[in-house]
Structures are given as structure tokens and as C-alpha cells.
């Protein structure tokens, strides 16, 4: 599989809009991997996870080719993961060459409501986009051959925020953004599953958050439990992602913090092939 991280910040981006904190000043000064946009990840060339307001930036600067996207899975309705007005630009009035197939969008009930609220200002979205409402523990196969299982996240209740298992050709990915330490019902589902790749929320960095989002300590707890359950091994690629501007953190400082552990630190544009 090939996984490309396009946006790796939390909701306010990093440097954050309007913010002059030390972490944001450092990001502006150092540039490069310190410039983080809102959450979006590409699996292969055709399966996209989340559609933030920075999607247009990802097209223009990171080579995201939206014409190739057949399936779009949405984790939850927070604006840094879901900007439905731009998804609705896939219609005859604003885009040419989109007739060969409908884009399949998968999301929970809250996401569906927000999608149709946005779609109502366009005349022909249904002709080009098909929305599929999903709930925790639903499993579906995308047109491009991925088996996707939605799991319950610990985030933004009562919305049923979702994390995902994505499988193809015998390989298995756990994509866990945004979430705190997983709900017990999700742990139960993970029993007996093995992952080649796990992407974990680390929004809070050194703050000890375990509900809603995670920091380093909660991520360690999750990976320890997954190891004990044999859901991961030494061969599993573990990625930390979705960071908030905090203290004097930079990309290098996050890497240094986890250098003795088996984690990779995501940045905008980074790619994993396995
Ligand atoms: Zn988020
Ligand atoms: Zn800041
Ligand atoms: Zn969120």
C-alpha cells in the first residue's frame, strides 16, 4: 500500500490562523516540515480520507489529483476534516470531465446532514456524488477494492465519530484520527486483528490528554495494549499525526521526543510505501 499524508495539523493549522505563540513563530521562521495544514490522507491514488478546507492547497502544492479519487471516507464533521461546500464543487457547473463515475462519500449521520445542507445550494450534486451513511462497525467495500471497517472513536460525542480499518491485498491499516484512547467496544473489535500500519492521534503532544485526543502518554498506552493483544508487532509502521501548536515544539523536537520509540512523525507530504 501507499499512504500519503497531505495535512497533519489539528483544526487551527500550524502555524495557526491569527496565532503568534512560540510554536507558530518557530514554524513560520523554520518553514519546511513545520508548516502543517488541516487533516487529509491519501491511500493509494483513489481513496481519500477527509476533505478539509486545505484540500485546494493539497491539490495545488502537494499534487493531489482529485480526478482519480473514487471514494472519500470522512472521520467526523469537524471543519478541519470536512468542508462539504468544496466537495460539492464536483458538479457540472464547476467541473468538466467528471462524468465517468460518481464519487462515493462515506460518513456518519452528522456528516450526511452537513453534506446535504451544503449540497442544497447546488442543483445537480446527486448526479455526480453518492453519499453513503455509515455507523460504527459497518463494513463496506469501495469500488476501488478496499475493504473499509468503521470503528467507534472517542471524539465529539454524541456524534458517532469514526476511525477506520482499511484493507487491501492482505494488508491492514488502522487510521485513528481524531480520537482519545479507544472506547472499550472498539478494543473488543480489535481482538485478533493484526495491522501493518497504524496512524495515531497525537494532537496534545506532551499534555496528558486521553479523552477526545491523545498526547504522547496516551499513545504509548494504546500501542502497549495493541502489542499485548498482538495487534501490532515490531514490523508494524506506527505513525503519529494531527498535531497542535504547543510550547516550543517543532517537527524536529517532536521527532527527538519519540526517538527511542518506534514512531514515525508525520508531516505534510510524507509518504509510506509498504
Ligand atoms: Zn481534527
Ligand atoms: Zn500558535
Ligand atoms: Zn475533531
Taking 90 as the threshold, does the pLDDT of residue 177 lie above it? Answer: yes
Reported as a single tens digit per residue, the pLDDT across 211-247 is 999 999 999 999 999 999 999 999 999 999 999 999 9
- Distance of CA 178 from the midpoint of ligand 3 (Å): 5
**H or E stretch covering 232:** none
What is the percent of the chain where pLDDT is above 70? 100
Q: For position 192, what pLDDT does the model report?
A: 98
The mean pLDDT of 127-145, rounded to a whole number, is: 96
Taking 90 as the threshold, does the pLDDT of residue 95 lie above it? Answer: yes
> 165, 177 in Cβ contact below 8 A?
no
Ligand that lies nearest to the alpha carbon of residue 28, given by its number in the listed order: 2
pTM: 0.97
Q: For position 249, what pLDDT does the model report?
A: 98
**H or E stretch covering 42:** strand 40-43
DSSP string for residues in 206-225:
TS---SSS-BHHHHHHHHHH
Going by pLDDT thresholds of 50, 70 and 90, the confidence category of residue 268 is very high
Contacts of 119 (CB under 8 A, 6+ apart): 84, 88, 125, 126, 129
Q: 202-220: buried (b, 16+ CB within 10 Å) or exposed (e) per residue?
A: bbbbeeebbebbbbbebbe
In this structure, whether the domain defined by 2-273 belongs to CATH 3.50.50.100 is answered with no
Ligand that lies nearest to the alpha carbon of residue 26, given by its number in the listed order: 2
Which residue ranges make up each domain of the chain?
Answer: 2-273
Q: For position 182, what pLDDT does the model report?
A: 98
The mean pLDDT of 251-259, rounded to a whole number, is: 97
- Distance of CA 32 from the midpoint of ligand 1 (Å): 21
Ligand that lies nearest to the alpha carbon of residue 22, given by its number in the listed order: 2
The mean pLDDT of 174-190, rounded to a whole number, is: 98
> 242, 201 in Cβ contact below 8 A?
yes
- Distance of CA 74 from the midpoint of ligand 3 (Å): 11
Taking 90 as the threshold, does the pLDDT of residue 193 lie above it? Answer: yes
> 190, 229 in Cβ contact below 8 A?
yes
- Distance of CA 50 from the midpoint of ligand 2 (Å): 23
Amino acid at each position: 500500500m501507499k499512504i500519503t499524508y497531505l495535512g497533519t495539523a489539528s483544526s487551527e493549522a500550524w502555524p495557526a490562523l491569527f496565532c503568534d505563540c512560540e510554536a507558530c513563530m518557530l514554524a513560520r521562521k523554520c518553514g519546511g516540515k513545520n508548516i502543517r495544514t488541516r487533516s487529509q490522507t491519501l491511500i493509494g491514488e483513489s481513496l481519500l480520507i477527509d476533505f478539509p478546507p486545505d484540500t485546494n492547497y493539497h491539490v495545488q502544492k502537494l499534487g493531489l489529483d482529485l480526478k482519480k479519487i473514487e471514494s472519500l471516507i470522512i472521520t467526523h464533521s469537524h471543519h478541519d476534516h470536512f468542508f462539504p461546500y468544496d466537495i460539492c464543487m464536483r458538479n457540472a457547473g464547476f467541473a468538466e470531465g467528471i462524468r465517468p463515475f460518481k464519487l462515493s462519500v462515506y460518513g456518519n449521520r452528522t456528516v450526511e446532514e452537513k453534506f446535504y445542507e451544503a449540497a442544497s445550494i447546488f442543483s445537480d450534486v446527486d448526479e455526480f456524488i453518492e453519499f453513503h451513511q455509515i455507523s460504527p462497525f459497518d463494513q463496506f467495500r469501495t469500488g476501488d477494492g478496499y475493504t473499509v471497517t468503521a470503528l467507534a472513536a472517542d471524539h465529539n460525542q454524541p456524534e458517532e465519530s469514526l476511525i477506520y480499518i482499511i484493507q487491501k491485498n492482505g494488508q491492514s491499516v488502522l487510521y485513528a484520527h481524531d480520537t482519545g484512547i479507544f472506547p472499550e467496544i472498539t478494543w473488543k473489535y480489535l481482538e485478533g486483528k493484526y495491522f501493518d500500519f497504524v496512524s495515531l492521534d497525537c494532537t496534545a503532544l506532551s499534555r496528558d490528554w486521553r479523552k477526545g485526543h491523545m498526547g504522547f502518554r496516551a499513545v504509548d498506552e494504546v500501542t502497549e495494549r495493541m502489542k499485548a493483544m498482538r495487534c501490532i508487532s515490531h514490523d508494524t509502521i506506527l505513525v503519529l499525526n494531527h498535531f497542535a501548536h504547543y510550547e516550543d515544539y517543532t517537527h524536529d523536537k517532536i521527532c527527538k521526543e519519540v526517538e527511542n520509540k518506534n514512531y514515525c512523525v508525520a508531516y505534510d507530504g510524507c509518504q509510506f510505501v509498504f
